[in-house]
């Protein structure tokens, strides 16, 4: 199994936790991590914005990543949510086996 890591940001902990719980319960991700407050600086509507956000890291299989990204876009309240995906290059065997066990029922 190839593991894919997907990152996004949310306005606050409750928002991130809601998304995290749903995608893990739906077996689209086997792990979700909400990171503490971060400061994001970005251009928006012709001005530079600065916002307090929390990070959300989701881990899934490459087979499920498109479905997870689609679901994340449905659940996310932002007009233009950050969705960045990259493959995990090094994975410990016990961790990979644990992930497979959780996602196994949804993969073909």
What pTM does this model have? 0.90
- CATH among 3.40.50.1110, 3.10.180.10, 3.40.50.150, 3.30.70.120 for 3-106: 3.30.70.120
Q: Does the pLDDT value for residue 13 go beyond 70?
A: yes
Q: Given a cut of 90, is residue 107 above it in pLDDT?
A: no
Mean local confidence (pLDDT), 33-46: 95
Could you tell me the CA-to-CA distances from 27 to 11, 32, 52, 76 in Å, in that order? 24, 11, 29, 17
Count how many Cα atoms sit within 13 Å of the Cα of residue 99 in the half-sphere of its side chain. 24
Going from N- to C-terminal start, the domains of the chain cover 3-106
What are the pLDDT digits (tens) for 46-91? 999 999 999 999 999 999 999 999 999 999 999 999 999 999 999 9
Distance CA 29, CA 69 (A): 10
Which has more pLDDT, 102 or 17?
17
Mean pLDDT, range 36-43, rounded to an integer: 95
Identify the pLDDT of residue 104: 82
């Amino acid at each position: 199994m190839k593991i894919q890591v997907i990152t996004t940001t949310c306005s606050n902990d409750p928002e991130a936790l809601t998304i995290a719980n749903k995608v893990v319960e739906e077996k689209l991700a086997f792990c979700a991590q909400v990171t503490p407050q971060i400061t994001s600086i970005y251009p928006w509507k012709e001005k530079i914005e600065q916002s307090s956000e929390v990070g959300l890291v989701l881990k899934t299989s490459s087979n499920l990543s498109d479905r997870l990204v689609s679901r994340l876009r449905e659940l996310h309240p932002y007009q233009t949510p950050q969705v960045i995906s990259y493959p995990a290059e090094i994975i410990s065997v016990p961790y990979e086996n644990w992930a497979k066990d959780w996602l196994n029922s949804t993969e073909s």
